Structure 1
Amino acid sequence: MDLTGAKWRKSSWSSGDGGTCVEVTTDLPDVVAVRDSKNPRGPVLVVTPAGWRTFLRKTKDGWS
């Protein structure tokens, strides 16, 4: 998958000291991509928008 034109944004929960940093892009058709901002050329997790919404809901709800 070509992610060259993706507009990545860092999570507001990411620390500013180079620690835990997650970036996400939702501007691609039919997918949401997630990566480690410290390793932008590294692996990327790609999920469907529905899968991403489920992940966010479950993390907010405590996976119950």
Structure 2
Amino acid sequence: MIAENEPEEQEKAIKFNTLVADLVMYQTTLDMSLVLNQPARPSCPRRCGLTSSSMANLPLSHA
């Protein structure tokens, strides 16, 4: 939180918050890619990985 009205400090805070948000999105994308690229294994009790039919049912987000 910025206590004073200093444009330079506000700009630094905005850049930092943007960087953190970008890193969170990057990590989420990486994690999802790793899971989606795992093959579905019938021997896994919870059906590890996804099949093409289950991927077709994933909701798509349009930001």
Q: Do the two structures share a fold, i.e. TM-score over 0.5?
A: no
Q: What is the TM-score with the length of structure 2 in the denominator?
A: 0.24
Q: What is the TM-score with the length of structure 1 in the denominator?
A: 0.23
Q: Which has the higher contact order (CA 8 A, sep 6+)?
A: 1
